[in-house]
Amino acid sequence: MTVDGYTFSSAIKATLADLGVPAGPILRAARLPEDLFLSPQVTLKPDEFFRLRTAAETFTGEPALGLSVTTEMPSAPPPPPGLVAWELTFWVALARLGTRTTFVPAKAIMPDPPDAEAYRDYLGVRIGRGASVTVVFTSLDARRPFLTANDAMWKIFEDDPRRRLADLGKVETTAVRVQAALLELLPAGQGTAQDVSRRLAMSGRSLQRRLAQEGTTFQAVLGRTRHRLAQHYLARDDITITEIALLLGYDEPNSFRRAFHKWSGQTPHQARTESARRSTAFPA
């Protein structure tokens, strides 16, 4: 957490996937942009973060989300109990090292707990029997800040952490976000400003105002995106002109032909023929 809000890595998307929950429904339920996790670092205002957390708890059905660390082990062959117990101990040791606090976890469970008092002495709690491999921290301990800046520990979680920090303030332009949304929406026939503004969780007026501040318009971004996609599709001989028109969100091929001629001064057929000739003249 920062003074301005909550900042976290886009790796949260992978965490949600591990829980079997796609990010899209959670972001929609939290009234947040569906492209939120495309940025390397995400900063949310407190109310936005709280909506996200509530939505995640609702979709996962886990009210204690975030208080437990689960280690997935292969089902076959089963790992030796000593290795599993070591994994549990590792997470507790790491948390104690980072917080400089020798706290006791609320619970530690695994399918076949070892009969070794040394683990109880170190953890402060006996390892119980359970279906999953889990260590649970109390809400107080889960909120303890990490006091160390040890690079070796950082690298357990992040490759090149300094580069990640340097990217902290990087923000994608609205035009780039619109283009990314269009790449997903156009094939479904949803290429209007209203469709995009809904995807980005902003009003149509705000979308147009932000694009104007960047010196462009929605129609200009839409045209550039369609033109680039058209060039990509025309380089493939397994997609017909009619199919390309549909993929770009046009109702019928003639509208696509007119637009493409306006962009390039060529018909789609001429562009495809020229692309094929270049490929033949300069084979890979």
Confidence (pLDDT) at 282: 52
* Total-model pTM: 0.49
Confidence (pLDDT) at 10: 60
Residues facing 135 on adjacent strands: 69, 108
Torsion of CA 242, 245, 249, 255, to 10 degrees: -110
Burial of 83 (0-12, 13-18, 19+ CB in 10 A): exposed
Contact by Cβ (8 Å): 46, 6: yes
DSSP three-state, residue 44: strand
pLDDT in tens, the chain (284 residues): 444 566 766 666 666 665 666 778 888 888 888 777 776 677 778 778 778 877 877 776 655 454 444 555 556 566 777 778 888 888 888 888 878 888 899 889 988 888 778 888 889 999 999 888 888 888 888 877 776 544 544 444 445 444 544 454 455 789 999 998 898 888 878 889 999 998 888 899 999 999 999 999 999 999 999 998 998 889 888 889 999 998 898 888 899 999 999 999 999 999 898 887 876 655 54
CA 123 – CA 113 distance, rounded (Å): 13
Confidence (pLDDT) at 54: 79
DSSP three-state, residue 6: strand
CA 35 – CA 15 distance, rounded (Å): 16
Give the side-chain half-sphere CA count within 13 A for 151.
7
> Which of 156-186 are b and which e, b meaning 16 or more Cβ less than 10 Å from the residue's Cβ?
eeeeeeeeeeeeeeeeeebbebbbbbbeebb
Contact by Cβ (8 Å): 271, 234: yes
Confidence (pLDDT) at 14: 63
- Could you tell me which of 141, 136, 154 has the C-alpha nearest to residue 88? 136
